[in-house]
Chains A and B, each alone.
Chain A
């Protein structure tokens, strides 16, 4: 039973989609909401096995003593089998993926509730198809997070792409086609390199295990063929040795080349400057619930990919590229924040703020310290809570005003006091105010960057530059709040109704989560993830020139 729970979770939304297809048009949103709700409830079953992770003795039982031993809910079924290869349907979760799965189902639930008023949108044609695609998207997202076979991962990755393309391209704003194609092509371009890396890794692993070697993490299993198993690739010493020694196309070091191939695919998703340019367009054109999904879940796949594929499999690559990646992270933080400051479109501002926040994720991972990676992980989850909330806040006002010009707003806190209060919480969480969720990730990343000072001589300057982001962020968020929510009430907006019950039902849980994640980081996240993250970071640090960093030394 435990084994098939993830499969159930992955295909539940797809069944819901099937339901939407056969049921009458009017029922589509009801079925979609029920499906996302059930999916969310089912996903809560994933948490109990990780519950005692805060207890040191229990943590060993839960997270094992190495990266490969931490998996739960594993299901492994041969899928496509040939003479020299075997592609498996292999799903499972560990501390790294579990929070993302729950986040996905949660954000999907709220996004579905946010699409409840879809009949009032500008584009109202074929809303049944909207919910079908929405649920297919959820299947893709969950599938991506639970796949442990690279091939399966890649399929889900692509499955996710298409519904998203149509959701933006059909139900989007005025420039929806442009935005949808841009989104699609950027992601596809990234995934092409990932495909090359996947294939190459398969063949190189086949070379390494020729004649049969014991599995890196499964007891009593012998590997005789090349593999797509992401855990095997990271833990099997024979494969690792081959990866470290081999060259690609004769001249390039295999590890760092493959690292960067996969990295580009994920960097597009994250998104990292300079491949971020699809994001503001996609966000601005996408309908509100799709923006919530995009910001809340899709961006996290970049960070998840780094931690699942790039770093554990090619730690030397991580070290090789560390300075470049950290630089890109810092640039994203500052450039994103500065661009956000100059925006006049409400949604575009929030989109650029996402770029800035994701820069912290990149920086935290690039420095390869425990603190940094924990911070990156926390930043992703926190951003997964605060940014859908911010996009929904934009959506609430867009539904009323039908424009998003920041400078035309004003005094909304007077017009809509409850909504104004929620907006304050959401944007302050995004600002990184201590006591709200955004703070923990940022401070951990900054601390983690500083911690890496013995390994990288650029670590302290990087930390200093990144810390400037704290000031810029305060600048653009407060200026935004001033222009939109403060000031005298405007005639234009005076008659606007207060946030409805449905809207508050979405905003209040988000706000509560913002506070909860700001107050209890250990009990709400770190206990479940640190076990796995520490294994990953240990792998990262033990390779190459990195030595374990002892604090205070």
Chain B
């Protein structure tokens, strides 16, 4: 076990320890010490994460990272057997884990610090009672589950932690559980996620039984193996027969697509993708730090993380499905955000829209861009949520932006950091230069790939070399060679020693020839798959581009209404203040929004793409999958986006100018407050109503699913109470009558006696039973147990030599 695994595991264990500590001694620790325990636990995990991150970057420089990843795959714990197949769990140690772990711990640390300040007032009170320690207890449990999710090497364990973060989300949304809307929202979140998990479970089943392992790497390897040799899931056609609905000759690829979509269903729940988006806005009922941590930065991004992890199991068709879902989400949710008046709801819809971008990017094949956007978004969105928390706390729990305005003077730090967040999410940057905030780069990359897929894509695979030559070095595809005979270094379903030998970038094939002769003879890998990847429908690209204009508009609107203009509610304005405990984390996150994104994250994610594209069926199209031990190629990869921009001038300006145009429009409309906006709203009457009612999703689900389900439940209950019970009672009555009749008419045989005895007893059990020692009980026991013996003895006596046929009316057949 390398140090890194120890660090990562230790960080997870510390959170669990903190959880138990707070659960057992929380009330005694009290306020604010219970909070500091959680902060200390989180900060030490963050320290470990930083050590790991720095060390890991060194390993990459030295070219030893891949070996460590491979070594980590060997350290596994035999957790259980499913049937006769072992399930091994371990730490997935690669660049993606390291960076995701760092992101989560870093943001969580500052949000925990913020929470101590936020909860210091009366925000920790549930119905007037302080639940301070409980809040931090939940936060520690969440940190444990989330970090566990990140380091899991096994899909089943990923699923277990996945559900645990869902539980924490449920508990924290419902933190103010004395409020009906909070407990409703919590329930809605959990059940909506369960609907997604329904699909996830099916994905897991198919992975397990078609690929034979739940190990992330193992499954990917088998999947690629089966694809290349057209065996396993791809080996034959299937007949699907679902209770009468019969489809014959379903190809293996279709089945694999269903598997991918099944796994993605889980992500749809957790990342609140259309049509399961309904829970996230309601989840804002939780305390604001929770919204920042769980419902903006980390947990909701877990869906995207899952897609990134199972990316190697996705067929082109499954990817297209993912892209479509992401595209619908990003567009539809951004439009709703325009009409929101609650500051947290506005941020929630913007989160939904940005998650849509990430999922869309995954669907397009922009693996790196999606994760890059996840990272940058986590920082600035967490910061903005904390800012909104500061505002809400400062304004005495006022969340309505219509009552705010002019808070800049009262809350300068919050206002400025919020503005940085607005700029970042809007994609502030200057086209064709290196100047810009994280969101600028990440969104640009996504759109560039979408453009590429929508407009520059030539269906036949042969063409790609020539046409895309200009971007091939930077953005496009590499041939991933694959050799089946190397793939069977499979010990117990999870280990792969030879992984790094499978990832040769296109440029290095010359060397690879010598080293792996047979590998090159069948250069299918990516190339073979490329034939299956079709062009992206153009509407998807345009949706994503137009939404890039909508985003700055609603964010600027949100910021302007809150911080600028004249105060619209003097009472709220008078109360407004900010506290250092709370603004300090804002500043830290703002600084990170500035500096972190490009320099650290992009190269590391690009490095992680090496893993994602090894022995893969479909590789991230933007992923310059470079071997970890080649620093030169890696630095080229870091500059990839620039090349993309050069390739598409139109796009560079179209995206790069979006923030400016939209800011101006928003400024013109909301400069003087709400009047112009209100007029516009009445001008767009029905559309505005449609957006305000969130496309009536809540109503539709409430009526058809919730009410429908309850109605069916009532029917079942009535059926059970009246019909099934009635049958039982009826047969009892008949038996009773018959027993009474036969008791009179026939001499008492054994069975009759038993029945009558019971009937008689039942009349007045208590009377009969008043004195159990008198022998009645013993009689009964004797009666029943002896009854069986007597029957047999009688039968044996009758039996004699004539055999059982006499008694049972049949021959023994012996």
A residues near B (Cβ < 8 Å) are 21, 80, 82, 84-85, 125-126, 129, 132-133, 151, 154-155, 158-159, 161-162, 166, 169-170, 177, 180-182, 184-186, 188, 195, 199-200, 202-204, 206-208, 210, 242, 245-250, 254, 274, 276-278, 280, 335, 338-339, 341-343, 369-371, 374, 411, 413-414, 421, 428, 433-435, 439-440, 443-444, 446-448, 450-451, 453, 457-458, 460-461, 463-464, 467-468, 470-472, 474-476, 478-479, 482, 485-489, 521-522, 526, 530, 534, 551-552
* B102-110, B193-201, B606-614 - interface stretch: B193-201
Q: 5 tightest CB-CB pairs across the interface, nearest first? A: A207-B812, A207-B814, A246-B813, A203-B804, A342-B717
Q: Is the CB of B784 within 8 A of A161?
A: yes
CB distance from B38 to the nearest CB of A (A): 17
Q: A199-B807, A551-B209 are in contact. List 7 more A-B contacts (CB 8 A).
A: A158-B787, A158-B788, A170-B769, A181-B732, A447-B208, A472-B709, A478-B186
Give 21 A-B contacts (CB < 8 Å), ordered by A residue. A126-B769, A126-B772, A133-B777, A162-B777, A166-B765, A185-B758, A204-B804, A208-B814, A242-B812, A246-B811, A247-B811, A335-B720, A341-B713, A413-B177, A414-B126, A447-B82, A451-B209, A468-B198, A471-B198, A487-B177, A487-B178
Instruction: Please name all residues of chain A whose beta carbon is closer than 8 Å to the beta carbon of B769 when the two chains form the complex.
Output: 126, 129, 166, 169-170
Most buried by B among A132, A446, A457, A486: A486
Q: Does B676 contact A (CB under 8 A)?
A: no
Report how many A-B pairs have Cβ atoms within 8 Å.
Answer: 263
Q: Does B47 contact A (CB under 8 A)?
A: no
A180-B762, A434-B159 as given contacts; A530 in contact with B81, CB under 8 Å: yes
**CA gap between A182 and B758 in the complex, in Å:** 11
CB distance from B763 to the nearest CB of A (A): 8
Most buried by A among B174, B807, B808: B808
List CB contacts (< 8 Å) of B178-205 with chain A: 178-180, 183-184, 186-187, 190-191, 194-195, 197-198, 201-202, 204-205
Q: Is the CB of A435 within 8 A of B772?
A: no
Q: Which of B725, B732, B777 contacts A185 (CB 8 A)?
A: B732
List CB contacts (< 8 Å) of B789-813 with chain A: 789, 791-792, 795-796, 799, 803-804, 807-813
Instruction: Please name all residues of chain B whose beta carbon is closer than 8 Å to the beta carbon of A476 when the two chains form the complex.
Output: 713
Instruction: Please name all residues of chain B whose beta carbon is closer than 8 Å to the beta carbon of A534 when the two chains form the complex.
Output: 84
Q: Does B122 contact A (CB under 8 A)?
A: no
Q: Does B283 contact A (CB under 8 A)?
A: no
List CB contacts (< 8 Å) of B725-783 with chain A: 725, 728, 732, 735, 754, 758, 762, 765-766, 769-770, 772-773, 777, 780-781
Instruction: Please name all residues of chain B whose beta carbon is closer than 8 Å to the beta carbon of A204 when the two chains form the complex.
Output: 804, 812-814
Q: Is the CB of A461 within 8 A of B243?
A: yes
Instruction: Please name all residues of chain B whose beta carbon is closer than 8 Å to the beta carbon of A254 when the two chains form the complex.
Output: 810, 813
Instruction: Please name all residues of chain A whose beta carbon is closer than 8 Å to the beta carbon of B812 when the two chains form the complex.
Output: 203-204, 206-208, 242, 246
A162-B780, A467-B201 as given contacts; A249 in contact with B809, CB under 8 Å: yes
Q: Is the CB of A342 within 8 A of B127?
A: no
Q: Is the CB of B813 within 8 A of A247?
A: yes
Instruction: Please name all residues of chain B whose beta carbon is closer than 8 Å to the beta carbon of A247 when the two chains form the complex.
Output: 810-811, 813
CB distance from A169 to the nearest CB of B (A): 5
Q: Which of B160, B784, B791, B807 contacts A162 (CB 8 A)?
A: B784
Instruction: Please name all residues of chain B whose beta carbon is closer than 8 Å to the beta carbon of A335 when the two chains form the complex.
Output: 716, 720
**CA gap between A471 and B193 in the complex, in Å:** 9
**CA gap between A278 and B809 in the complex, in Å:** 33
Instruction: Please name all residues of chain A whose beta carbon is closer than 8 Å to the beta carbon of B160 when the two chains form the complex.
Output: 434-435, 439
Q: Is the CB of B758 within 8 A of A184?
A: yes
Q: Is the CB of B810 within 8 A of A277?
A: no
A-contact bits for B145-174, CB 8 A (1 contact / 0 none) = 000000000001001111110010010001
Q: Which residue of B lies closest to A194 (CB)?
A: B788
**CA gap between A186 and B210 in the complex, in Å:** 44
Most buried by A among B195, B716, B758: B716
Q: How large is the interface on B (under 10, 10 to 19, 20 to 34, 35 or more residues)?
A: 35 or more
**CA gap between A435 and B201 in the complex, in Å:** 15
Q: Which residue of B lies closest to A130 (CB)?
A: B772
Q: Which residue of A lies closest to B241 (CB)?
A: A457
A-contact bits for B605-643, CB 8 A (1 contact / 0 none) = 000000000000000000000000000000000000000
**CA gap between A414 and B130 in the complex, in Å:** 10
Q: Is the CB of B796 within 8 A of A339?
A: no
Q: Is the CB of B80 within 8 A of A526?
A: yes
Q: Which residue of B lies closest to A245 (CB)?
A: B813
Instruction: Please name all residues of chain B whose beta carbon is closer than 8 Å to the beta carbon of A482 when the two chains form the complex.
Output: 183-184, 187
A245-B813, A247-B813, A487-B183 as given contacts; A341 in contact with B81, CB under 8 Å: no
Q: Does B679 contact A (CB under 8 A)?
A: no
Q: Is the CB of B788 within 8 A of A487?
A: no
A335-B716, A467-B202 as given contacts; A522 in contact with B814, CB under 8 Å: no
**CA gap between A343 and B713 in the complex, in Å:** 9
Instruction: Please name all residues of chain A whose beta carbon is closer than 8 Å to the beta carbon of B164 when the two chains form the complex.
Output: 433-435
**CA gap between A510 and B455 in the complex, in Å:** 61
CB distance from B224 to the nearest CB of A (A): 15
Q: Which of A166, A210, A435 contacts B814 (CB 8 A)?
A: A210
List CB contacts (< 8 Å) of B78-132 with chain A: 78-85, 126-127, 129
Q: Does B724 contact A (CB under 8 A)?
A: yes
**CA gap between A103 and B375 in the complex, in Å:** 49
Instruction: Please name all residues of chain A whose beta carbon is closer than 8 Å to the beta carbon of B762 when the two chains form the complex.
Output: 169, 177, 180-181
Instruction: Please name all residues of chain B whose beta carbon is closer than 8 Å to the beta carbon of A249 when the two chains form the complex.
Output: 808-810
Instruction: Please name all residues of chain B whose beta carbon is closer than 8 Å to the beta carbon of A434 when the two chains form the complex.
Output: 159-164
Q: Does B714 contact A (CB under 8 A)?
A: yes
CB distance from A546 to the nearest CB of B (A): 14
CB distance from A141 to the nearest CB of B (A): 15
Q: Does B261 contact A (CB under 8 A)?
A: no
Instruction: Please name all residues of chain B whose beta carbon is closer than 8 Å to the beta carbon of A199 when the two chains form the complex.
Output: 791-792, 795, 807-808
**CA gap between A20 and B804 in the complex, in Å:** 46
Q: Is the CB of A370 within 8 A of B84?
A: yes
**CA gap between A248 and B808 in the complex, in Å:** 8
CB distance from B231 to the nearest CB of A (A): 10
Q: Is the CB of A446 within 8 A of B772?
A: no
A159-B781, A471-B195 as given contacts; A551 in contact with B796, CB under 8 Å: no
CB distance from A55 to the nearest CB of B (A): 11
Instruction: Please name all residues of chain B whose beta carbon is closer than 8 Å to the beta carbon of A188 when the two chains form the complex.
Output: 754, 758
A85-B796, A199-B795, A246-B813 as given contacts; A450 in contact with B205, CB under 8 Å: yes
CB distance from B558 to the nearest CB of A (A): 31
Q: Is the CB of A158 within 8 A of B785?
A: yes
Q: Is the CB of B804 within 8 A of A433?
A: no
**CA gap between A84 and B83 in the complex, in Å:** 42
Most buried by B among A274, A447, A526, A534: A447
Most buried by A among B240, B796, B803: B796
Q: Which residue of A lies closest to B199 (CB)?
A: A467
Q: Does B712 contact A (CB under 8 A)?
A: yes
CB distance from B424 to the nearest CB of A (A): 35
Q: Is the CB of A435 within 8 A of B163?
A: yes
CB distance from B248 to the nearest CB of A (A): 12
Instruction: Please name all residues of chain A whose beta carbon is closer than 8 Å to the beta carbon of B63 when the two chains form the complex.
Output: none
Instruction: Please name all residues of chain B whose beta carbon is closer than 8 Å to the beta carbon of A203 when the two chains form the complex.
Output: 799, 803-804, 807-808, 812
Q: Is the CB of B788 within 8 A of A464?
A: no
Q: Which residue of B lies closest to A211 (CB)?
A: B814
Q: Which of B186, B712, B796 contacts A338 (CB 8 A)?
A: B712
Most buried by B among A166, A280, A342: A342
Instruction: Please name all residues of chain B whose beta carbon is closer than 8 Å to the beta carbon of A488 when the two chains form the complex.
Output: 127, 178-179
Q: Is the CB of B796 within 8 A of A248?
A: no
Instruction: Please name all residues of chain B whose beta carbon is closer than 8 Å to the beta carbon of A370 when the two chains form the complex.
Output: 83-84
Q: Is the CB of A248 within 8 A of B810?
A: yes
Q: Which residue of A lies closest to B238 (CB)?
A: A453
Instruction: Please name all residues of chain A whose beta carbon is closer than 8 Å to the beta carbon of B78 when the two chains form the complex.
Output: 522
**CA gap between A154 and B376 in the complex, in Å:** 68
List CB contacts (< 8 Å) of B194-228 with chain A: 194-195, 197-198, 201-202, 204-206, 208-212, 222
CB distance from A430 to the nearest CB of B (A): 14
A-contact bits for B453-482, CB 8 A (1 contact / 0 none) = 000000000000000000000000000000
